[in-house]
Amino acid sequence: MDGCKTKDYDWENFSYVAAPRVIMNTESSALPTVATANVSFFNIKDPDFATNQFFEWQLDYYNAEGRAEVSSIEVYVSFNKRESTPPLYPIVLSLAEVFPTERQFPLPSTLTDRDKLYETVSEFPKSYRFTPTELAAITGTELSDIAVNDYFLFKFVVNQKDGQRIVQYNDNSCDESRGELCDCRIGARFKDQ
């Protein structure tokens, strides 16, 4: 009788949820990057970086093999000053040489007052291409104030067809250094190389 169940647990009543999926165009990054890092770079050493460099990516989603259909994804964008300890560059990959050894942006990936709703997407996949000038205009940022390791960051809120609105995922689910299937953020960081 020791193996008999006597209690119901919350985790037993799980439901499937969808997760954002981004595919970054690594060729458009001004400096070398890897797709699994979800980070692109603008090189401010180039005098024409503001209009001649691009941040390109595509938004889609994972739907738990058809069990969690998405009606739309809200796309938010913000400009952020460098963290006290930004990730190393060039990006170091894990021993399997697939994922970066450290996350490229701070967690948790929580919506804050800095995040502005850019658009709500209902047709997938959706492609994006931005110059630093365009991102600065969207976020109200002065490019002359940008320093090394400052960054633009996109975050995602998933609206499912069943009415669920997924605003934040567990930190481990969003950590690109773990190789998880949730891409809850993607960004472009400034370097001077």
At the second CATH level, the architecture of 16-191 is Sandwich (2.60)
Please say if the pLDDT value at position 95 is more than 90.
no
Domain ranges in the chain are 16-191
Radius of gyration of the chain, Cα coordinates, nearest whole angstrom: 18
Q: Which candidate, 119, 150, 139, 118, places its Cα nearest to that of 49?
A: 150
Which H helix or E strand runs over 130?
strand 126-130
Please say if the pLDDT value at position 1 is more than 80.
no
Q: Which candidate, 147, 37, 135, places its Cα nearest to that of 77?
A: 135
Residue range 160-193, pLDDT digits in tens: 999 999 999 999 899 999 888 899 999 999 999 9
Q: Bridge-partner residues for 159, per DSSP?
A: 72, 165
pTM of the model: 0.93
Report d(CA 191, CA 147) in Å as an integer.
Answer: 8
Tell me, what's the pLDDT at 3? 67
Which pair of tokens denotes residue 8? Answer: 């119901």
Tell me, what's the pLDDT at 5? 76
Confidence of residue 2 (pLDDT cuts 50, 70, 90): low
